[in-house]
Amino acid sequence: MSKLFIFTFLLLSSVFAQGNTLTVGRSKAFNTIQRAVDAANAGDTVLVDYGIYKERNIIIQKSIVLKGIGFPVLDGENRFEIVSISANHATVEGFKMQHSGRSEIRDIGAIMIYNSYKVSAFNNILDDTNFGIYVQNSRNCTIKNNYITSYGKSEVQSGNGINCWKSDSLIIIGNRIKGHRDGIYFEFVTNSLVWRNISTKNIRYGIHFMFSHHDTYIANVFEENESGVAVMYTNHIRMYNNFFINNWGDAAYGILLKDISDSDISGNHFTKNTVALHMEGCSRINLYKNIFSNNGWAVKIQASCDNNDFTKNNFTGNTFDIATNGSLVLNTFNGNYWDKYEGYDLGHDHVGDVPYHPVSMYSMIIESNPAALMLFRSLIVTLLDKSEKILPGITPENLQDKIPLMRRLSL
């Protein structure tokens, strides 16, 4: 068999494998999307002209591409799921989906992906939907460059922007999410990547994940969310170069870590949060090259945490750098820059000659008696902290940076 014949056979096979194109529109072969989907075969593409389509729930159970031209509108009329996918290798791209239904009995949203493999949702605009994109018991799915906006007013009546449950190897990239209960929600989701998403002004968390191991979060922005970000009951996570910004409130955090272990948190920016980082029951986390600036509390670390290492971080402009609720110290804070450090460097090696104690006496008092915050900026608070530095009695003596840096790190 000649090489030319083999090449021609492979070329023709690849062309035929691309499938046929079915068109939907007023003057096209199909006037409804569901009829075109039903008529399509695996590998086909269904192209939808611009218009408004009210088709209740479009069901995809084949390996097809459903693509909109000029962002045709799929309207759920506040009653229905808009697109439901139970297929492998399916794609939904280029639609505006609006007004999905809501239910107290089951989850309803715009793009619902069930028990599927390698499904993709690209470049869609989701407006006023309960759940935006919902992934359940699926693998290797990609959710990319979608604009997902809701207008929820309470947690009970709102769904999540991107909701993923019991799935593996997902890629969540470049999405903009606003106004949902949680921007991104993971539960039992493993080996997945969350990259370059912007999650803002959500009712609860910008991102919330539980029991979701071996996941990576890179270069995301979580800003002005009611409660910040929550990470719970998880191990082996990696969080690099994310931004936690302007998360203010009585129970708001840049990020809340609860029962997290064996993880890396590096290169992140924590700016203008009530509590930038709250840690409870955490073990063996490496926190390095992060920037904590202009927060109420930079780090609140509970006595239940152990073997966590803070190194090469910048702490600047925070009201309190470190707070804790006990005297037992099982974590290390060495080689960080602290703008409140008042030590000296006689050896000119850019390392302070005396240790820095980042926990103030006043912050310890507030931990046990929050009402004492009323005394903030008073003379008595200054006197308390100065006397504690001379004669330590309340603050944990061993919670110290033994090699504080004299210069801010360039991170």
Contact partners, residue 298, CB within 8 Å, separation at least 6:
270, 276, 277, 292, 315, 318, 320, 321, 322
pTM of the model: 0.88
Task: Give pLDDT tens digits for 73-87.
Answer: 999 999 899 999 999
- Structural domain includes residue 316: yes
- Structural domain includes residue 408: no
Q: What is the pLDDT of residue 388?
A: 54
What's the token pair of residue 356? 């820095």
- Structural domain includes residue 400: no
Contact partners, residue 180, CB within 8 Å, separation at least 6:
132, 148, 150, 152, 158, 159, 160, 161, 202, 203
Is the pLDDT score of 379 beyond 60? no
Is the pLDDT score of 393 beyond 80? no
- Structural domain includes residue 248: yes
Q: What is the pLDDT of residue 27?
A: 85
Q: CA–CA separation, 56 vs 61, rounded Å? A: 16
Provide the β-strand partners of residue 112.
Answer: 84, 134
- Structural domain includes residue 159: yes
Q: Residue 362: name the closest of 341, 378, 345 by CA.
A: 378
What is the tally of structural domains in the chain? 1
Q: What is the pLDDT of residue 334?
A: 95
The answer to whether 220 touches 194, Cβ cutoff 8 Å, is: yes
Backbone angles phi, psi at 208, to 5 degrees: -140, 120
- Structural domain includes residue 397: no
Residue % of the chain over a pLDDT of 90: 71
Range in 185-199, 268-282, 360-374 with the lowest mean pLDDT: 360-374
CATH code, 22: 2.160.20.10
Is the pLDDT score of 28 beyond 90? no
- Structural domain includes residue 333: yes
Q: Encode 14-32: b = buried (16+ Cβ within 10 Å), e = exposed.
A: eeeeebeebebbeeeebee
Is the pLDDT score of 12 beyond 50? no
Q: What is the pLDDT of residue 222?
A: 97
Q: Is the Cα dihedral 86, 215, 67, 33 positive or negative?
A: positive
The confidence band for 387, taking pLDDT boundaries of 50, 70 and 90, is low
- Structural domain includes residue 401: no
Range(s) of the domain holding residue 9: 3-390
Range in 216-225, 359-368, 379-388 with the lowest mean pLDDT: 379-388
